[in-house]
Structure formats: structure tokens, C-alpha cells
Structure 1
Amino acid sequence: MANTATERYVEESARPDSELPGLAERADIPQEYGKAYGNVLLARPVFVPENEIRAFADDLAAVFRLLVALPERCFGGDLDRYAAAIGLPPEFTEVMREGATGDPLLYARADAFHDGAGFRLLELNVGSELGGVDTAQLNRAFLADPAFGEFAARNRLGHVDTMELLAGELRRAGARVTDGEPVVALLEGPGALDEHSSVFTSIQEDLRGHGVDLLLGEVQEVVEEDDGKLSLRGRPVDVVLRYFATYQIAGDAAARAALTRVNRAHAAGRTALFTPLEGALFTSKAALGLLHRPAVRAALTDDERALVDRVLPRTWVLGADGSEDALEYARAHRAGLVLKPGMGYSADGVVIGRDVTDAEWEAALAATAHRDYVAQELVVPALEKVVDPHTGRIGEWVANWGIFVTGEGFGGAFCRALKPEDGSVITYANPGTRGTCVFTFPEEENGI
């Protein structure tokens, strides 16, 4: 994405005597963050006009409110009909509905591409089990470097600390159950804590820097004490920071019982839950696909239709509730589409139409009969220029933007990036993927 801050940074970092190239390799980042991400950092941060990303966050909030209203507005208030329309298995819906209020908290992260004209929403991850919340540690490390600090001051760069916002949310949740600083337990699903342990210890380290005591555990480990409060390994817990997901609970009797304990303690005001699983009802990519369905669009206002068209690439619901017309369209337009599971994680099951043969595409489409899938219009992202710190050459990278949004608006951002020649799916499972932080700059100050 071309902008003045990026152009200046690339120009200055390409100079032979520049102190900017390779900053990510030199940055004095915190120990646990370094263990988690130190080997996969991009050589530079990325930059975005502040007004643009804040406006996109406002659009994301509006999309979230629209999604939450869909069951009432388009399905007669019947949540089961809505769930069937997005392909949710009944056992998933049952788990998501336990403890639901009908008014889920807005705490989400969009995955988005920038196509050169604006951000386009690929998916909206609603709930507290979000990666990237600790990225402001990298922002701070960059700013501590004298060369970058001078560049940042000159260009009036800024950033939003997502972890600071999360700490505030946890304190607000904890205020229901304690007058002091809350003891928070991050709970993963059964057997999953060790899989991403470095990520969680980085979050723990960052939250500690914001004054929040964070315990790490798995949901089945929590015990309900005689007074109704939860404890983890003997420590009373004021707030549960949920990192377990629906698929980890459904079908696991011990996890299901543990979720009931968590929801019961939350309802009794003994241990607060941040956030309940009801937000997952609106995180499926198929929920976004409904916004393009003719019957749903007919129920939207002109402003709402304009919002959907501005933010969201055309998306078709496939699978059990998808129409034959949608499937035929997908069959005929392979090169311009991406096939995605509605409830997929970490790009699992994603098929890029232009990267496969007709036969492979047909096989992928056949699989949609047995699982919730969407076909989404392919977004061609603008490229980010990055100076290679070892060769001095300028390369081009595709950036996937992780943009946080809360009830207060824009909640910070980070990027994962990949060279086009290293593949089309940007995920840390792809060894070519690199991550970095985001700085904003004032448009009017940079002549844009």
C-alpha cells in the first residue's frame, strides 16, 4: 500500500549508511515476545493513515451490529434457523447459546487486505481468543531505537496498544467480583495450552507489564469452590480470559462440564467470563456471506447495503444451506474466488482458485456438501515494499492486516506478510510468513 510514510521509510532505509534496515533483527524486544516471534519478524513496521484505519474500524463495528441483528431481522428471532443458514452443527449452536445474553460484547479482530483503494474484510473474529494482542511490545521496541525514534517523531507516527485496551476490559469485568486488581486466568481448550505456549507466555508477560496478574491453564482444570468462585490450581480466579473455542468444547464431556461451571460462576457474579462463546455465532465467514444473500439484502437499509458493498468482498454461502446457483457460480469462476470453511482456523481448508486445477477445484467444491463453506471474491492486495537488510534490495510483500475493534473503536493492528512467490495463504504455518507491527500517521501531515 503506497503512502508517504512508507515511501519515506523505504527511501531512507535503502541508503547504504542507513540505520533503519534490519531494525527488527536489532530491536530490544521483551524476552517472551522474542521467544514467540523473534524468528519470524519482518524487517520493518508497516504504516497506515490514522483516519483511514479508524474509519475502517468504525465500519467493522457497524458490520458487527448488523450481524448480531440478523437472527431477529431475517430469521424471525429463531436462532436455530439462523445457525442452520450458516452451517453451524447443532452441537456447536448449543454450546454457543449457553450463557448467551443476546447482546454480545464487541471485542473482535478483522483479517483484511488493502487493495490500494481501501481495506476489504476477509473475516471477522469475534471473541477473546485472538492472536496478536501483544504486538505493541514490538512498537515500543522500535520506538526505543534511536534511528527509528527520530523517524517516528519526524513523521508523527503513533500506535494503539491493544494489550492496554484488553487490560482495561479485564479490569471492568473484574469489577463485578472484586474491589482490587483482578486475578485473571487465560484458559485454553483441553490439551491445547502447550501447543502455543510461547504465545501465551508472551501475553502473560505483556499483561504483567500492564499490572494484570495472569494465570495460564486449560478449561477443564478450573474448580468450583463452595462459595461458587472458580479456582485454578488453588488460586481463586476473578476473571476468565477465554481462549478455548467452541470446537474444543463440543463433544468433550469434561470440557462441556467445565464450561457449565464457568458460565454458572459468571451468572452468579463470582468469577467473570471474558468473553462468552455467543460471539462465535457471528464469527463464521458464512455469517458474512448472508449479507450478500438477496433475501437478506432486501431487509437492509440503503446505508447498510452501502456498508456491506464498501467493506466486504462478494461472498456466497455454500454447503447444506447454500443455493445451487451459488455452487454453479463458484464452479464457473474458479480463478476469481477463494474457498473457505465458515468456521476454519489458521487458513485450514482454504483453497485459492487461481492456484489449483479445474479438477482440484471441483473436488474442493464437492467437499462443501459435508461442511460449512463460503466462496469469496478474490481480493488482490496492494504490495508493501521492504528493504532486505542483508542485500539492500527492495522486495515486495503481501500484507494480511489484523485490525482490532472494540466498543470504543479502533483497537490497534498488526500484520502478517508473505512474498508472493512463497505462496498465497498468509499463515505462520507457511514458513515464509513474517509478522510486524503497525504505526499510524496523520494524513494531513503527510500531504495525502
Structure 2
Amino acid sequence: MENSATVRYLSESADPDSGLRTLTAQTTVPAEYDKAYGHVLLPRPIFVSEREIRAFADDLAAVFRTLVSLPRRCFDGDLARYGAAIGLPPELIEVMSEGATGDPLLYARADAFHDGTGFRLLELNVGSELGGVDSAQLNRALLDVPAFRSFAEANALGHTDTMDHLVAELRAAAAGVGADPVSPVVALIEGPGALGDHDSVFLSIQEDMSRHGIELLLGEIQELTEGADGKLALRGRPVDVVLRYFAAGQIAGDPVARVALTRVNRAHAARRTALFTPLEGALFTSKAALGLLHLPAVRAALSETERELVDRVLPRTWVLGTEGSEEALAHARTHRASLVLKPGIGYSADGVVIGRDVTDAEWEAALEATAVRDYVAQELVVPALEPVVDPETGRTGEWVANWGIFVTPQGFGGAFCRTLQPKDGSVITYANPGTRGTCVFTCPEVEFEESRI
């Protein structure tokens, strides 16, 4: 997505002796962030119109409200029926529904492409187990470089710190259980045996949260104990807020974890230790939930404004593998090149199949898997390309950006991008060695001043 910020940045940086080489060499990110991401950083940030990304965040909030209303509006409030409609197995529905209120907190991150005319929502990840909350550490590091800071000031660049939003929500949660909101003890809690799988990421989050004045402990759900007063503790430390990074799939089927979840939910309900966020939000994070918004029976229950929102923001999405999805499956069989096949619930692009990248036989094999796992077929979105200068060669290459855009009760909550050159594949995930990450700066919709960096 080329804009005036990009054009100015590149025009001032394309010379190998220009500021981009200096910027790359001089930027120093915090130690734990460097360990987690320093080896996969793009040579420059991505720019976007502030008005456009804030408007998209408003749309995300509206999509969230619509999704949350579906059980009540279309399934008589029955979460089991709703869950079955999006292909969730009963054991997951049970875990996600424990303690459900019907009013989950708006705390989410969209994965989106920009097609050159606007953002298109690929999936909406609802809940606190989100990556990228520490991405503003890179924004701050870039602004510490005098040349880039001058460029940013001259052109009114800005950024939103996602950690500011998260910390505000954690402090509010602490206050809700009578804890000190200024310096609550927060524990980031993973599923059984999973903390070490992402330890570098969690240490970076811990580092950034410390900068924001919050002590963050790291642990797993089975390590939480319950005191006589009902308050949870981690390895003997009383915990004011549990920052949930465990997922429903890590709990269902594990008897120890299941008991631990009930303990956490009990402490939350008793207002002794807050859970940020309950697993209720996971009922709406499945990509199949977005697919419901395209079903005729669901669309009939939506307002005209909601239908317009769905058509504008969401690529067409079909739910597969559920009762009544035979027509959707037939459509997927005959439209391979224009579709993407995705698990309804999945992470790091696990199980994603791009129709145009596989043979008919491979596509058919992937479709057969929908009989045993929740899947959706989604209209392929062709993203606009981002020009990026290689600081070593001075040559400009083209990259695809997958936008991670946060939305919270405070509105737009910051953004970051994962990027990939088309020659390295179609699936943008850090499991793909060609993927690079970067931060996002917003800019006003005005022509940039002449200013070398």
C-alpha cells in the first residue's frame, strides 16, 4: 500500500549512502525484544493514514459487537447450538462457556490485508493471548535515532503503543478486585508445558510491561494455587490479575488443567483475582464465526448497517464441515484458485492452504480434512505490495504485509506488520524463514515536506 509517507521515505533512502543504512545500523532495541525479533526485522517501518486505520478499528469494534450478539439473536442464547454451528467440538464449547456472561471484553487483534483501496479483515483474534503487544518497542527505538526522529517530526508521524492499552486494562481489572491499580502483580499464564515454547516472546512482553510500571510474573495454569481467602498465587506470590495466554484447546482433555481453570474462574467470579480475559471470547475468535455473517439466515437477522459493514470489511467466507455446509463445500471444489482454506481455530497459519498454490488433487485432499476438523473457505484477498529498500544493496523489493491491528475499549490500540516477499511463498508466518516483522507509524493525509533522513 503505497502512500505519501512511503514515497518520501523511499525517495530519501534509496541511495545506499543515505539515511536508511544509517538508520538500520544505529537502531538499538531493548535486549529481550532483540532476542525475540532482532533477527527477523524488516529494514523499515510501514506507514499508514491515521484516519484510515482508526476508521478500520471502529469497523473492527462493530464486527465484534455483531459477533457477540449472534448467540442471542440467532441461537436463542444457546452457546452449544452456536458452537456447533461454527464446528466447535462439545469439549471446547464447555471450556469456553464456563463463566460466560454474554458480554466479553472488547480486546482483539485483527489480521488484515490492505488491497490498495482499504483494509480487509482475514480473522479477528478475540482475547488476551495475542502476539505483537510489545511492538512499540521498535517504534521507540527508531525514534531514538536522531535522523529518523527529525524525519518523523517533520512529517507528523505518530504511533499508538499497544502496551499502554493493555496496561490500562490490567490496572482496571486489578481495581475491580480491590488491588492496587498503580502497581498490581500480574501473572502471564500459559497452558501446561507451553511456557517454554514462546519464552523469548514472553520475556519481551515482560520487559516492555516493566517499562510501563507493571511487574509481570510468568507461569503455567497448573502452577496457580488458591489461598484460604480465594485469591490465587503463583509460586507463593499473590496474584492480582491473571493475563491469560492459555487457550481452550490446551485445557480441554487435560484433567489437571481443567480443574485449574475452574479454580481461576472461581477466583475471578469471587473478585479475588481477576482473569484477563475469560475464555468466553474464544467463542468468537474462530474464523467460522465470520463465516456465519455470510449465511442467509444470519444476514436476515442483521440490520442494513451491519450487512453493509460485513460486505465492506469481510471477504466472503464459507463455513465447512458443519450440518448444511454441503453447498459451501461444492463451491469450494469448483473455485480453488480464488479461495483460501483455513482451520476455524488455529495459530501461526497452521493448516492454511492457498488454492492457487496447490493442485486439484492437493485441494481435494485438503477439503476432505474438513470432515474431521473445523474449516472455512475464504475469498482470496490480493494485497497491495509495499516497496522496501534493501540497505545492503540499495535495491527496492516488493513485500506483502499482514497487518496486526489491535482494538480495545479505548479504540485503535496500535499495529504491527509481518511481511513476506512473494517469491518466498503466500503464507506469512514466522515459521516461514522469509517472514520479517516491523512496526507501524501513522501519518496525516498530506504531502510530506522535503526532509532528508
Report the Cα distance in structure 2 between the residues aligned to 1:420 and 1:391, rounded to whole angstroms. Answer: 19
- Is the 1:416–1:435 Cα contact (8 Å) retained in structure 2? yes
What's the counterpart of residue 9 of structure 2? 9
| Residue 352 (structure 1) aligned with residue 337 (structure 2) | no
Render the CA deviation track for 1:231-253: whole Å, top value 9, x for unaligned: 00110100000000000000001
- AA aligned opposite 1:178: A
Q: Does 1:283 align with 2:293?
A: no
Code of the residue aligned with 1:427 in structure 2: it is: T
AA partner of residue 283 (structure 1): T
**Pairs within 5 Å for 1:207-222:** 207-222=209-224
- The reply on whether 1:387 has 2:389 as its aligned counterpart is yes
Distance 1:321 1:422 in 2: 37
Question: Aligned equivalents of 2:156 and 2:346: distance in 1?
Answer: 38
State the secondary structure of the residue aligned to 2:400: strand
- Give the distance between the partners of 2:337 and 2:70, measured in 1 at CA: 31
The reply to whether residue 425 of structure 1 matches residue 427 of structure 2 is yes
Amino acid at match of 1:151: F
Unaligned runs of 5+ in 1: none
1:369 corresponds in structure 2 to 371
> Residue 129 of structure 2 corresponds to which residue in structure 1?
129
Q: Which residue of 2 aligns with 1:197?
A: 199
CA RMSD after TM alignment: 1.1
Q: Distance in 1 between matches of 2:241 and 2:349?
A: 30
Kept after mapping to 2: 8 A contact 1:22/1:388: no
Partner of 2:261: 259
Structure 2 contact 23–147 (Cα < 8 Å) conserved: no
Task: State how far apart, in whole Å, the 2-side matches of 1:400 and 1:242 are.
Answer: 24
Task: Trace 1:273-312 onto structure 2 (pairs within 5 A).
Answer: 273-312=275-314
The CA deviation at 1:140 is 0.2
Q: Deviations over 1:207-236 (max 9, x none)?
A: 000000100000110000111111001101
**Identity over the aligned pairs, expressed in percent?**
77
Counting only pairs closer than 5 Å after superposition, residues 111-130 of structure 1 correspond to structure 2 as 111-130=111-130
Aligned to 1:106: 106
Does the alignment pair 1:140 with 2:140?
A: yes
What letter is aligned with 1:160? Answer: T
Contact map agreement 2:97 2:280 (CA 8 A) in 1? yes
Q: Are residues 1:179 and 2:180 paired?
A: yes
Deviations 1:362-419 (A, max 9, x none): 0000110111100000000000000001110000000000000011210000000000
Residue 298 of structure 1 deviates from its aligned partner by: 1.3
Correspondence 1:327 to 2:329 = yes
Alignment of 1:397-416 (within 5 A): 397-416=399-418
Taking the aligned partners of 2:327 and 2:231, their CA distance within structure 1 comes to 52
1:16 CA displacement: 3.6
SS of match in other structure, 2:371 = coil
Indicate the larger mover: 53-62 or 76-85. Answer: 76-85
Q: 1:257 aligns to what SS in structure 2?
A: helix
Q: Deviations over 1:134-184 (max 9, x none)?
A: 000000000011111111011100000000111111000001231352100
SS of the aligned residue for 1:20 comes to: helix
Whole-angstrom distance in 2 between the partners of 1:198 and 1:80: 37
- Are residues 242 and 305 of structure 1, via their aligned partners in 2, closer, same or farther at CA, if it must alter by over 3 Å? same
Which residue pairs with 2:89 in the alignment? 89
Letter of the structure 1 residue corresponding to residue 308 of structure 2: A
Deviation at 1:269, TM superposition (A): 1.0
Contact residue 6 and residue 46 of structure 2 kept, 8 A:
yes
Structure 2 unpaired stretches of 5+ = none
Deviation at 1:444, TM superposition (A): 4.1
CA distance in 1, matches of 2:369, 2:248: 22
* Cα distance in 2 for residues equivalent to 1:322 and 1:376: 17
Query: Contact 1:188 / 1:244 at 8 angstroms: preserved in 2?
Result: yes
Provide the residue aligned with 2:436 in structure 1: 434
Q: What's the CA shift string for 1:12-37, capped at 9, x where partnerless?
A: 11024312237345311000000000
> Contact 1:48–1:439 (CA<8 Å) still a contact in 2?
yes
C-alpha distance in structure 2 between counterparts of 1:278 and 1:68, whole Å? 10
CA contact (8 A) 1:159 1:439 kept: yes
The code of the aligned residue for 1:8 comes to R
TM-score of the two chains, using structure 1 as the length reference:
0.98
Contact 1:22/1:44 (8 A) holds in 2: no
Q: CA deviation at 1:2?
A: 1.0
- Give the aligned partner of residue 223 of structure 1: 225
